[in-house]
Chain A
């Protein structure tokens, strides 16, 4: 499923961004870390736009896409089984 594929890639990239940002908090002069951080965030933001255009908003008051209808309230929500993708890949 396309949504699972995009969401999985976005989850991977956002995790890298969280971890790199935390690393940069204590290593602010690491040029390699900053370069990697910029690459990751730029790819993630591109994917965010793609995800929002296809599957609805990721934020209630910030947008990476044009919003024609207010579908923020659409099910499923992240704490629900149906929202998430399978980690191992098989099902």
Chain B
């Protein structure tokens, strides 16, 4: 099961409204390399994991991604919640606003709604871990692109934190992959009981 703890993994406290920036950062909520896809990817893949360590890594990173989803949702919420209705158009927030108001909705920066087609759960422990290495790199790139879109330190600090977590997760998935490869290469003996002829 899961336990919700009433606090953030890393604080989000934004003073300056910026709905146009929220419309970009929402992509890490429900976009192709976002935190929702990351969490569902790892938490779904864990059932096919074969080593105790890779099970733990998928489970624990999948869980941490939910805390990151909360951070991104909080950033988007705080950047857009008090927007002056007269400024919605000028802020470039109109296309998001007509569909979702100032609510937080899982979509990409281009407005494409979240889809599970953003990730795989292939039932092959090696294939899944290779996908995850790529996923962490794609998310890191996205955070770097997003960090170029603002100079607001209140937004940059949590984005920098999230970017660094992608690097740590990449490292852990690499170690998981190493362990799974070793396990699959190890010599094992199988005994098959033959049915008796009647």
Contact = CB atoms under 8 A, between A and B. Distances in A.
A58 B7 CA distance: 7
Interface size class of A (residues with CB under 8 A): 20 to 34
The secondary-structure label for the interface of chain A is: loop
Contact of B13 (A18, A58, A87): A87
B172 A25 contact: yes
A72 to B, nearest CB: 8
Query: Range of interface residues on chain B?
Result: 20 to 34
B7 A87 contact: no
Contacts of A10: 7
Give the 9 A-B residue pairs with the shortest CB-CB distance, closest first: A84-B11, A26-B175, A79-B74, A84-B13, A25-B56, A78-B8, A25-B57, A87-B157, A58-B6
Interface of A: 7-8, 10-11, 14-15, 18-19, 21-23, 25-28, 57-62, 72, 77-81, 83-88
24 contacts: A11-B7, A11-B8, A11-B9, A11-B11, A15-B10, A18-B64, A21-B60, A22-B57, A22-B60, A22-B168, A22-B172, A25-B53, A26-B53, A59-B4, A59-B6, A60-B4, A77-B6, A78-B7, A78-B70, A81-B13, A81-B78, A83-B8, A86-B13, A87-B157
